[in-house]
Structure 1
Amino acid sequence: MTYCVGMVLEKGLVLMSDTRTNSGVDNISVFRKMNTWTVPGERIISIMTAGNLATTQSVISQLEERTKAPEDRQNGLLELPTMFQVAVEIGKLLRDTIEKTQQANGARGKGRFTASIILAGQIEGMEPRLFMIYPEGNFIEASFDTPFFQIGETKYGRPIILRGYDRTMSFEDATKLLMVSFDSTLKANLSVGMPLDLMVIERDSFAPTHEQRVEHDDPYFDAISARWGDALRSAFHSLPDYSFEKST
């Protein structure tokens, strides 16, 4: 499984993804699910993927090829004029890849090769933008009402973000919030695993402001995990006691 989060702040964008892929409990691997393309001073585009690994790797490979082959550059991530058009092209590519793979596998392929993508980035002269792209190729964009997207195993980490998110928060606080969200997910689901990839993109920087791979023994993540657990236990014990005695 997978857990990826993309978040919009007033200051820019914050992205985090896990790296675990598995086909059963005895076949677990590490694959990077966050990929980024940049043109210094002009654009930065990053995608995070969830779903069938063969499908997502095929989409990423095709996107890479489009940045190199002259005949494909007009539809490549580094040439398209807006993030909206980037989302359209990635959506088409994802849909076509899924359809071709399913057709090649006949009845066995139905529903087996789906994937979804979070697209984030900024092009010079425009706002930072965040999109959720579905297997059918359609997509939605983040807004004030929906300022973050999740893909993969979303349910365990979502309540943390809903309670803690603030559009004006600092990058440091946003990173801390995502660390707690991922810790909650890791504790509840073994199909999501470390290391984690973190990227911070400041508005108008057109390059990663901060990147980190959070490994198994990362001291900050370990501290966040331990203190969050202690804080939850303390908050629980501070709640009013329930009584079996009926009040009179």
Structure 2
Amino acid sequence: MKLNAAIKNMTTQIADVLSLNDPSVYIYGSYVLDDFQYGWSDIDILVLTQKSISEQQANELVCLRQSITAAESDNPFYRCFEGGMLTLNTFIRKVPDRVVYWGTSGQRITDSYHFDACCMKELLDYSRLLHGKDIRGQLTPPSFEDIKTNIQFHYDTIRKYASSTGRSIYSFGWLLDIARCIYTLRTGKIISKTAAGEWALQNCLFYNITALETALEVRKNPQKYLESAELQALSGKLGNAIQQYADVLEKELKTTSFVGVCTF
């Protein structure tokens, strides 16, 4: 399978460049949650080293994703990799050091890379070690209050930026993100976007179920709908539905006092 071949080869290439730095390479996100959908999902990796990344190594790594994509053009998954490569000390203590970052819009060498509380919990609970020593025991698990604060920030972002939506199938992701936030508030756990949407439907969390049903269908088959004029048009009119779902998240934030308990 080309996806697994890409992950194996990318891990080997990164480990070779950082062979003197004792790297630990992790994969997390939709791939390990059995929710990877080509055309929507990223392949999320985190590389933590014991020794600082040199300028030469950083220059090799920052171009690695592009160079492998060009060399193996028949494998579309290399362009899906995203993540950070940095020392464990920089990651834990948030002190400046040389960092290689791969993102959706490009790649760069920078001096910091942080996880929010939800990403940290996902890393600790579900990530898979691909290479090196497992150093997750040295990371501090986030408290539930940290996670709730993170979700509050996400809620504020939804209110600020998702009152209107662009004509893109990815606009449906807002609905799944809200479902995922509510699941985490109620359980203290992280699940995939698809599983969160299905859970929300089963538990009748939202009045407008049609929007969520459509979001799930698009999430499961992004390649099918990527060029759909009908779905493009619908995605540009999701603002009201997203804000209705945000109303439910707002109530959940106000009534959830600690993990798994809602005071209503």
Specify the TM-score bucket, using the shorter chain as the normaliser: 0.3 to 0.5
More helix, by proportion: 2
More strand, by proportion: 1
Scaled by the length of structure 1, what TM-score is found?
0.33
Scaled by the length of structure 2, what TM-score is found?
0.31
Query: More relative contact order in 1 or in 2 (CA 8 Å, sep 6+)?
Result: 1
